[in-house]
A = this chain, B = another copy of it.
Amino acid sequence: MSLHRPYPASAIQAWDHETDIAVIGFGAAGACAAIEGALAGARVMLFERGSGSGGASALSGGEIYIGGSGGTDAQRAAGFEDSTEDMAAYLKAAGGPCADEAKCDLYARESLAHYGWLKEQGIPYRGNYLPGKHIEPVDDSTLMWSGSEAAWPFCDIARPAPRGHVIQHVGWGGGRPLVDLLESRARALGVEVVTDARAVALVQDEDRRVVGVVVRIDNVNRFVRAAKGVVLCTGGFVFNEDMRRRYCPETFKISSPIGDQDDGSGIEMGVGAGGDAIHMEQFFTTCPWTMPEPQAHGVFVNQAGQRFINEDCYHGRVSRVAVDQMGDRVYLLLDIAHFDQPLEMAGITIAGTGETWEEVETELDMAPGTLSATMAFYNAHAAEGRDPLFHKKPPILTPLDQGPFVALELNFQNSYFSFFTLGGLRTSVDGEVLDHGGAPVPGLFAAGRCTSSLPAWGHGYSSGLSLADCTFFGRQAGRKAARG
């Protein structure tokens, strides 16, 4: 039995289970696929290799990227109109060269309705807006800025609006209650959940149709017939070092994979059945350098003392561009007015201090006239409210001229650059797994991080894109599978 090759249906004597739709993986994508399958009247079995629901979704903040159609209740209450065109334009810019334009357009159009659907499933939203720059809400607010919407160049491409809609939940970690509520809903609809059940192969008939899945339960292979299809919701491959080496080797520059058993098995099974895997080199990374918030005012330089980004972008975009810099670290420069002890988990250390930027430069062993010149130029323009190089905007753009000064070190190996993979199976807007010629692999569907989808490009990632993708395109896959 190999993940990489489908098991021939002709070799199966008897099926152990029969259902209409077999969903593999019980994160947000799998839960939403199961719910929609059940709502459409299909029998649904959901197999999860862990001992309960969760996946990487439960490790997240429970934030979903939503907007367009004039704006959600929360957006409008906070004074933000949000057009579908602006939302689509932002999604495409965030997808960069990897953008799936059809998915961006569809999701921008359907996002508001999807928000309504999430509420119908029981997800609570307080509906209020939390201003400022946060990684996850500090209270139970439910709307926040979660990407680079207000930052250059995105602000010139689409009218900015906050679109991070977070489940009402006090503090970090809204992903867990989000998945719990989706699980309750799925169970209430009659979805049969089997945990500690690891999918080990797809079953394919002679016409290449996926007709079932082999699931290992209690150390025995069980044959599951899925009359209408199999939906892979198995997550990315951040915990599969061999796959990372083959497809995404830049991630070895950083050291903190995040996920929940994301070993790429669904991608491998999908490819084995004829699916195409795309943009496999893409990954998201972030280091929580905007905690505490005043540090968001800082300036980043690389080891040559050069700035490389407008630091008012989303922390994940800044971190991703940081990892592109030559060498093994970057520095976050702050003055006393904006320095506070970094979050301990971030693993950010103090690399140099000084009464002047020249002193900091010396402490970092940089040549005279590098970092100090960068800061003199930055401060002179920031005082005028301008950033001619990278177009950072006030109020985050502010002179850093109140000594003493500090250089924090974000070290790619020793600081907490968490990361996960973004590449995966190529799918249609309906969640069908597509082959190399662009045709659906009959009977096979996928959603979430085992696909390449809305969050396609590491440099354009925004919080909430992955859960938006999991929940919306999970639903699409479940519905399409139910149609048979």
Question: A residues touching B (Cβ–Cβ < 8 Å)?
Answer: 2-5, 97-98, 242, 246-247, 249-250, 252-253, 268, 271-272, 274, 276, 278-281, 304-307, 324, 366-367, 369-370, 373, 377, 381, 388-390, 426, 435-438
Contacts and interface: CB of A to CB of B under 8 A. Distances in A.
Contact of A304 (B271, B390, B436): B390
Contacts of A435: 4
Query: Which 8 residue pairs spanning A and B have beta carbons closest together?
Result: A97-B249, A367-B388, A4-B436, A281-B281, A304-B389, A246-B278, A306-B306, A4-B437
A460 to B, nearest CB: 12
A437 B243 CA distance: 10
A240 to B, nearest CB: 11
A252 B436 contact: no
19 contacts: A2-B437, A3-B437, A4-B435, A4-B437, A97-B249, A97-B252, A246-B278, A246-B426, A268-B436, A271-B436, A272-B436, A279-B281, A280-B280, A304-B307, A306-B306, A324-B324, A369-B377, A370-B377, A373-B373
A373 B374 CA distance: 10
B436 A279 contact: no
A373 B377 contact: yes
Contacts of A436: 3-4, 268, 271-272
Contacts of A366: 388
Contacts of A242: 438
Contact of A367 (B246, B253, B304, B389): B389
A271 B276 CA distance: 9
A250 B97 CA distance: 6
Given A4-B435, A367-B381, A437-B4, A247 B278 contact: yes
Contact of A98 (B249, B272, B305, B307): B249
Given A370-B377, A436-B268, A246 B276 contact: yes
Contacts of A324: 324
